Amino acid sequence: MRFLIDNTLIWDGESRLIESGAILIEDGEVKELLTDEERRKYALPTDTERIDGEGKLAIPGLINAHTHLYSSLARGMALPGFSPKTFTGILEQLWWRLDKALDPESVRVSALIGAMEAARCGVTTLIDHHASPHAVPGSLDLVKTAVCDDVGLRGAFCYELSDRDGVEVRDQGIEENLEFIAAQDPDDPMSAALFGLHASFTLSDETLKLVADRIPDGVGVHIHVAEGPEDEIQCVERHGMRIIERLNHYGLLRETSILAHCLHLDEHEKNLVAQFKAIVVHNPRSNMNNAVGAFDMAGFLGRDVLVGLGTDGLGANMLTELFTASILQKHERRDPLAGGFPDLNKILFIDNPAIAFRLFGIEFGRIAPGAPADIAVFDYRPPTPIDAGNVLGHLLFGIAVHDLHVSDLFVAGRPVIRDGAFINVDADEAYAHARTVARELWGRIE
Ligand SMILES: [Zn+2]
Q: What spacing in Å lies between the alpha carbon of 282 and ligand 1's midpoint?
A: 10
pLDDT digits (tens, 9 = 90+) for 2-31: 999 999 999 999 999 999 999 999 999 999
- Verify that 273 and 233 share a domain, yes or no: yes
Task: Look at residue 303 and tell me whether its pLDDT is greater than 90.
Answer: yes
**Looking at 360, 385, 414, which one is the last position of a domain?**
360
Q: What spacing in Å lies between the alpha carbon of 409 and ligand 1's midpoint?
A: 26
Q: What spacing in Å lies between the alpha carbon of 197 and ligand 1's midpoint?
A: 10
Q: Which amino acid is at 294?
A: A
Is residue 22 included in any domain, yes or no? yes
Segments forming the whole domain that contains residue 385: 2-60+373-422
Residues with Cβ within 5 Å of ion ligand 1?
312
Q: What spacing in Å lies between the alpha carbon of 68 and ligand 1's midpoint?
A: 6
Q: What spacing in Å lies between the alpha carbon of 260 and ligand 1's midpoint?
A: 7
pLDDT digits (tens, 9 = 90+) for 251-276: 999 999 999 999 999 999 999 999 99
Q: Which amino acid is at 145?
A: T
CATH number, domain at 377?
A: 2.30.40.10
Q: What spacing in Å lies between the alpha carbon of 129 and ligand 1's midpoint?
A: 7
pLDDT digits (tens, 9 = 90+) for 386-431: 999 999 999 999 999 999 999 999 999 999 999 999 999 999 999 9
Q: What spacing in Å lies between the alpha carbon of 107 and ligand 1's midpoint?
A: 16
Q: What spacing in Å lies between the alpha carbon of 35 and ligand 1's midpoint?
A: 41
**Number of structural domains in the chain:** 2
Q: What spacing in Å lies between the alpha carbon of 433 and ligand 1's midpoint?
A: 26
Q: What spacing in Å lies between the alpha carbon of 313 and ligand 1's midpoint?
A: 7
Q: What spacing in Å lies between the alpha carbon of 148 and ligand 1's midpoint?
A: 21
- Cβ of 216: how many Cβ atoms within 10 Å? 10
- Verify that 48 and 162 share a domain, yes or no: no
- What's the predicted TM-score (pTM) here? 0.97
Residue 445: which of 105, 33, 101 has the closest Cα? 101
- Cβ of 37: how many Cβ atoms within 10 Å? 10
